[in-house]
């Protein structure tokens, strides 16, 4: 079971290093790091303070028949405080978001109610009514800042409810997500455009026209920072801020994709479609592992321990991985929860480091206990639910110092720090260049020319201008055709050079 | 049915009193830390940049001499003091912390060529071009010394006149003998007015001499006939001798590996030898563009500092071919002597412009008392920078040094010359029968022969 912990070790590209001294030095150093990773893994056995929760039934009883009331009877007082329903019928379906430590929650009702709650003390820190539709809420790097996607624009608020920024460039935003390592606020708006903005200095890093129409299904893969959009044609596309064309396009469902969720290890993705199927995908091979029939999951969420929550109507279904190994996954029913009939579930989200799932629904929000879903041992340097304000300030400074540039977002983040052929700033492959070229040509073709008056609006001139714009768009990409002939000539030259005797090699034609 | 849910009691996870430390919990699971390689790389880049920001190696200059500084000696028992001698016969003892002269030892009529201190720190031996060897009693440093800035003048304890001018002197470790280099190699005792032993080979003068720190009876010398000789005092003639292409200006033994010695050569490189097998150099350290005048090892044995005629001071790793660091100033002219301080923190250089300069051995080191947390952070920065220092972005920052224009241009010229030599060599090899042209590795190329 130590195999996943040895991911810490650097994989050295042996053949790319010609410097023998450096190679041996690096090899010995990496061995040392491997040893330290192993000893760190051994700590798990003895020094971790808490153990994971579990739900074990005996005999013929099934785990999914266990109700929340049964759980409340068996569990201690502190945990049973985490089961509650907050009924707020006036303000519409609620979306919620937790901070990374699970301590604070922001709940945003459709009719404009924003509430910032401290979950440990069940204390309402601040609530404001913005008097506009709120479509999504997201925390920034800590509980001091949160963003709300409102009717026309997205806004950033401080902890005491003051509006700090109005993000006009993005237009009417449908979904907001924050990429923690890169300090990027990603959003998709009503016309299907993807925006990435660096919140440390406010600059817009990328605005990408996806070209696939309006969508409000957007999720971030925490393992590598790519954003996945689910479209109405059934495709899931993955994006990074540095390219205009998607990294991956997967045809997942025959109908529209309702929801996407990522496992924290980055290898699994769950998607649900309107045809009442839930599919689990392996992202390393982009293959479907499992299909679950029966219900249309409007919202999906993975917990830290790998439990999958699917919400449909007023029914929450929790699926657990019944196979113990990490290579094969078999999701089966673990627990259920059905709420009062009138409550339509809007968003499900597992609370980090707790065995709790937060449910945002049309009549407010609730929280129920799911034993075994949260990571029992937190690391104080990563996310500390018991943070003091001094620790929070220090952590903010360290997070800013470790902020990664947007170029580090890639499908396989382990390539960073390795030697060539993978460079840190990825040079786009030929296919990527072609895709980007096509996107640029489409954009040039679809721009609208200003209608001129006073006899200057001749159709011949219009077509000429349009052709010019397409040519300009093509010109920014170097000609691919030339390379073929040039490389052919070089290859011929090289073959001829190989036949020459050694002493005449320096007279061979060099192109 | 067994159910357990996570419930953390606040008492277990927070401190009891405000005077306690905050509680910290660790979980090294990599799935809690996405993109940790990228974060580590970013930290390496930041550490490299910070190192450059804090790199201020020059600490201060000690002026007082009226002519170029020709040699220095360090007292192994007293870290704060350094002896230096100049070309007009002026010998001074400096206090490094206040950078002032503690006392002077006047007496020499001409240039002082060699300076050395006995291992117990009591006797200072100096020799010069006026054919004399003088012994001085080193004043004991007392508490008053640091506050009182009066300059004392010390009388020599003994003065021995001899037949020829001297070039260098070195004192035996844990013994009473010292060796002088002049027309021959002579071994003296403190109490005798004439040498007790003398070695001669050929007619050329001996330029430098150095006793081995591990074996008190072994010493290495270099002569103006481009040779390096190792003598054993118990034998009557030389133990080993090699002749090189250019003469060696100075020799230093590695204090941690006493069988290895490094020779500072006139052709701008330093050659590290194993004293037992001198036919091939263990390592060639090339970075100076002009003659290397002096060399001294760090007490850790892992680095040595060299001063060269090209107005720069370089610090080399003991097994590396290129320098880790270069120090230069517009005001520093030809460097004639360098010393590494006995606590491995400072480097001293004495140059032609009559100044002794004090530099930090690690340019971005924070001096003074460092808190343990700061120390840990520095160590972490060092380790993470070393992990990624071969990658292009980090390498560019870590390797960057500003070079004075003459050295920069000279390095460019040397590079083109070497490139053209190598190209010619390759072509000669391509046009001749395979195996006829054999290149000797650089480690052997500069050694002409070993003579017994």
Are the C-beta atoms of residues A411 and A248 closer than 8 Å to each other? yes
In this predicted structure, the answer to whether residue A480 has a pLDDT above a threshold of 60 is no
Mean pLDDT of A401-415: 91
pLDDT at A125: 95
Q: Rounded to whole angstroms, how far apart are CA atoms A426 and A440?
A: 20
pLDDT at A12: 45
Distances (CA, A) of B348 to A107, A361, B94, B173, B303: 66, 74, 12, 22, 14
The percent of residues in chain B predicted with pLDDT above 90, rounded, is 71
Per-residue HEC secondary structure of A181-194 comes to: CCCEEEEEECCCEE
The whole-angstrom distance between residue A160's C-alpha and the CA centroid of its chain comes to 28
Chain B positions contacting chain A at CB under 8 Å are: 1-10, 12-14, 22-43, 46, 386-388, 390-391, 393, 427, 430-431
Chain A residues with CB-CB distance to B8 below 8 A = 50, 385
List the Cα angle A144/A150/A153 in 5-degree steps.
Answer: 95
pLDDT at A422: 43
Nearest to A163 by CA among A134, A195, A187: A134
pLDDT at A453: 87
In this predicted structure, the answer to whether residue A492 has a pLDDT above a threshold of 70 is no
Per-residue pLDDT band for B154 (boundaries 50, 70, 90) equals confident
Chain B residues with CB-CB distance to A29 below 8 A = 386-387
pLDDT at B204: 87
Task: Identify any residues that bridge with A269 across adjacent strands, giving them in sequence order.
Answer: A262, A281
For helices A459-475 and A430-445, angle between their N-to-C axes, nearest 10 degrees: 160
Poorest-pLDDT segment among A408-417, B267-276, B384-393: A408-417
Poorest-pLDDT segment among A177-181, B38-42, B115-119, B234-238: B234-238
Are the C-beta atoms of residues B269 and B306 closer than 8 Å to each other? no
Entry pTM: 0.85
Of the partner residues B6, B34, B42, the one whose CB lies closest to the CB of residue A53? B6
pLDDT at A368: 94
By three-state DSSP, how is residue A463 classified?
A: helix
Q: To which residue do tokens 């996570």 refer?
A: B6
Ordered strands of the A104-109 beta sheet:
A94-98, A104-109, A113-118, A123-129
Mean pLDDT, all residues of chain B: 91
The DSSP-derived string for A69-88 is HHHHHHS-HHHHTT-EEEE-
Mean pLDDT of B313-338: 95
Contact A378 B27 (CB under 8 A): yes
Q: Rounded to whole angstroms, how far apart are CA atoms A422 and A340?
A: 53
Per-residue pLDDT band for A39 (boundaries 50, 70, 90) equals confident
In this predicted structure, the answer to whether residue A511 has a pLDDT above a threshold of 60 is no
pLDDT at B185: 92
Phi (first) and psi of residue A367, to 5 degrees: -145, 135
Mean pLDDT of A316-326: 85
Token digits for A177?
């997500």
Phi (first) and psi of residue B210, to 5 degrees: -150, 130
pLDDT at A490: 61
Beta-carbon contacts of residue B7 (< 8 Å; ≥ 6 apart) = A75, A76, A78, A79
Mean pLDDT, all residues of chain A: 87
Contact B8 A385 (CB under 8 A): yes
A335-338 long-range contacts, Cβ below 8 Å, gap at least 24? A335/A55, A335/A63, A335/A64, A335/A66, A335/A370, A336/A64, A337/A67, A337/A68, A337/A368, A338/A314
In this predicted structure, the answer to whether residue B346 has a pLDDT above a threshold of 50 is yes
Mean pLDDT of B68-78: 91
Q: To which residue do tokens 């052997």 refer?
A: B444
Nearest to B91 by CA among B61, B128, B144: B128
Q: To which residue do tokens 């409007």 refer?
A: A298
Chain A residues with CB-CB distance to B22 below 8 A = 388, 391
In this predicted structure, the answer to whether residue B148 has a pLDDT above a threshold of 90 is no
Per-residue pLDDT band for A489 (boundaries 50, 70, 90) equals low
Classify residue B432 as exposed, middle or buried by CB count within 10 Å of its CB (0-12, 13-18, 19+): exposed
* pLDDT, tens only, A114-136: 999 999 999 999 999 999 999 99
Which superfamily does B58-360 belong to?
A: YVTN repeat-like/Quinoprotein amine dehydrogenase (2.130.10.10)
* pLDDT, tens only, B88-126: 999 999 999 999 998 999 999 999 999 999 998 889 999
* pLDDT, tens only, A433-467: 888 888 888 888 888 888 888 988 899 999 999 99
Mean pLDDT of B297-302: 95
ipTM of the complex: 0.81
Beta-carbon contacts of residue B142 (< 8 Å; ≥ 6 apart) = none
Q: Rounded to whole angstroms, how far apart are CA atoms B209 and B196?
A: 17
Of the partner residues B9, B28, B31, the one whose CB lies closest to the CB of residue A264? B31
Residue A81 Cα, gap to closest chain B Cα (Å)? 10
Phi (first) and psi of residue B240, to 5 degrees: -140, 155
By three-state DSSP, how is residue A250 classified?
A: strand
Task: Name the strand (E) or helix (H) holding A97.
Answer: strand A94-98
Domain extent listing, chain B: 58-360
Mean pLDDT of A70-95: 90
Exposure letters A463-494 (e unless 16+ CB within 10 A, then b): eeeeeeebeebeeeeeeeeeeeeeeeeeeeee
Per-residue pLDDT band for A11 (boundaries 50, 70, 90) equals very low
Of the partner residues B3, B34, B388, the one whose CB lies closest to the CB of residue A74? B3
pLDDT at A378: 92
């Amino acid at each position: 079971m130590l195999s996943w912990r040895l991911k810490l070790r650097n994989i050295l590209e042996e053949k790319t290093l010609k410097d023998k001294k450096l190679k041996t030095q690096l090899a010995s150093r990496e061995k040392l790091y491997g040893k330290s990773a192993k000893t760190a893994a051994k700590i798990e056995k003895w020094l971790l303070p808490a153990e994971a929760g579990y739900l074990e039934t005996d005999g013929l009883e099934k785990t999914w028949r266990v109700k929340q009331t049964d759980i409340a009877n068996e569990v201690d007082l502190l945990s049973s405080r985490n089961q509650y329903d907050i009924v707020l019928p006036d303000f519409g379906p609620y979306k919620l978001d937790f901070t990374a430590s699970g301590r604070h929650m922001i709940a945003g009702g459709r009719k404009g109610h924003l509430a910032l709650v401290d979950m440990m003390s069940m204390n309402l820190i601040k609530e404001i009514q913005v008097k506009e539709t709120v479509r999504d809420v997201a925390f920034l790097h800590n509980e001091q800042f949160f963003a709300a996607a409102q009717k026309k624009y997205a806004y950033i608020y401080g902890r005491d409810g003051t509006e700090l920024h109005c993000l006009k460039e993005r237009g009417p935003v449908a979904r907001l997500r924050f990429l923690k390592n890169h300090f990027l606020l990603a959003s998709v708006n009503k016309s299907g455009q993807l925006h990435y903005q660096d919140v440390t200095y406010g600059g817009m890093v990328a605005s990408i026209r996806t070209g696939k129409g309006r969508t409000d299904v957007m999720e971030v893969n925490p393992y590598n920072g790519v954003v996945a959009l689910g479209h109405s044609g059934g495709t899931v596309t993955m994006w990074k801020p540095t390219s205009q064309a998607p990294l991956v396009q997967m045809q997942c469902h025959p109908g529209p994709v309702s929801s996407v969720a990522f496992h924290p290890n980055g290898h699994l993705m769950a998607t649900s479609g309107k045809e009442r199927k839930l599919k689990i995908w392996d992202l390393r091979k982009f293959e479907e592992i499992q299909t679950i029939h029966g219900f249309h999951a409007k919202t999906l969420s993975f917990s830290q321990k790998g439990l999958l929550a699917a919400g449909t109507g007023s029914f929450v279904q929790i699926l657990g991985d019944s196979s113990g190994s990490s290579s094969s996954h078999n999701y089966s029913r673990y627990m259920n929860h059905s709420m009062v009939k009138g409550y339509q579930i809007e968003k499900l989200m597992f609370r980090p480091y707790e065995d709790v799932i937060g449910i945002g629904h049309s009549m407010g929000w609730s929280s129920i206990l799911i034993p075994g879903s949260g990571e029992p041992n937190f690391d104080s340097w990563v996310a500390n639910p018991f943070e003091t304000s001094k620790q929070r300030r220090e952590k903010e400074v360290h997070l800013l110092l470790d902020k990664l540039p947007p170029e580090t977002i890639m499908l396989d983040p382990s390539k960073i720090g390795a030697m060539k052929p993978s460079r840190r700033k990825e040079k786009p492959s030929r296919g990527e260049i072609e895709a980007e070229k096509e996107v640029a040509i489409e954009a040039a073709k679809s721009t609208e020319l200003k209608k001129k008056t006073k006899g200057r609006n001749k159709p011949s001139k219009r077509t000429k201008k349009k052709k010019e714009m397409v040519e300009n768009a093509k010109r920014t990409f170097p000609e691919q055709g030339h390379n073929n002939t040039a490389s052919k000539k070089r290859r011929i030259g090289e073959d001829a050079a190989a036949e020459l005797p050694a002493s005449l090699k320096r007279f061979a034609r060099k192109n | 049915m067994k159910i357990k849910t996570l419930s953390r009691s606040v008492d277990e996870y927070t401190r009891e009193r405000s005077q306690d430390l905050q509680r910290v919990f660790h979980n090294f699971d990599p799935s809690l830390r996405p993109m940790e390689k990228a974060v580590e790389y970013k930290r390496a880049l930041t550490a490299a940049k910070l190192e450059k920001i804090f790199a201020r190696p020059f600490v201060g200059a000690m002026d007082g001499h009226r002519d170029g500084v020709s040699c220095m000696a360090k007292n192994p028992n007293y870290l704060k003091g350094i002896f230096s001698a100049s070309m007009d016969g002026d010998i001074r003892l400096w206090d490094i912390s206040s950078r002032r002269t503690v006392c002077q030892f006047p007496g020499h009529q001409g240039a002082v060529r060699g300076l050395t201190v006995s291992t117990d720190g009591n006797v200072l031996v100096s020799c010069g071009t006026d054919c004399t060897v003088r012994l001085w009693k080193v004043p004991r440093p007392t508490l008053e010394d640091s506050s009182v800035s009066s300059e004392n003048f010390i009388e020599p304890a003994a003065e021995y006149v001899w037949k020829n001018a001297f070039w260098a002197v070195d004192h035996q470790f844990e013994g009473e003998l010292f060796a002088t280099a002049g027309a021959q190699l002579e071994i003296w005792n403190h109490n005798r007015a004439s040498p007790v032993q003398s070695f001669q080979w050929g007619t050329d003068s001996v330029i430098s001499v150095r006793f081995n720190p591990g074996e008190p009876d072994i010493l290495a010398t270099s002569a103006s006939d481009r040779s390096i000789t190792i003598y054993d005092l118990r034998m009557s003639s030389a133990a080993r001798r090699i002749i090189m292409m250019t003469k060696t200006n100075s020799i230093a033994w590695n204090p941690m590996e006493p069988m290895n010695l490094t020779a500072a050569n006139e052709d701008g490189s330093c050659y590290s030898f194993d004293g037992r097998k001198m036919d091939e150099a263990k390592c060639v350290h090339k970075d100076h563009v002009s003659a290397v005048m002096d060399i001294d090892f760090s007490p850790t044995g892992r680095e040595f500092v060299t001063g060269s005629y090209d107005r720069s001071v370089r610090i080399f790793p003991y097994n590396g071919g290129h320098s880790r660091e270069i120090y230069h100033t517009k005001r520093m002219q030809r460097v004639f002597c360098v010393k590494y301080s006995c606590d491995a923190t400072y480097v001293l250089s004495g140059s032609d412009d009559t100044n002794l300069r004090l530099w930090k051995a690690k340019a971005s080191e924070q001096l003074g008392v460092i808190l343990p947390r700061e120390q840990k952070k520095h160590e972490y920065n060092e380790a993470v920078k070393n992990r990624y220092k071969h990658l292009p972005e980090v390498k560019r920052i870590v390797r960057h040094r500003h070079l004075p224009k003459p050295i920069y241009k000279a390095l460019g010229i040397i590079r083109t010359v070497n490139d053209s030599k190598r190209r010619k060599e390759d072509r000669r090899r391509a046009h001749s029968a395979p195996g006829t042209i054999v290149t000797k590795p650089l480690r052997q190329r500069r050694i002409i022969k070993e003579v017994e």
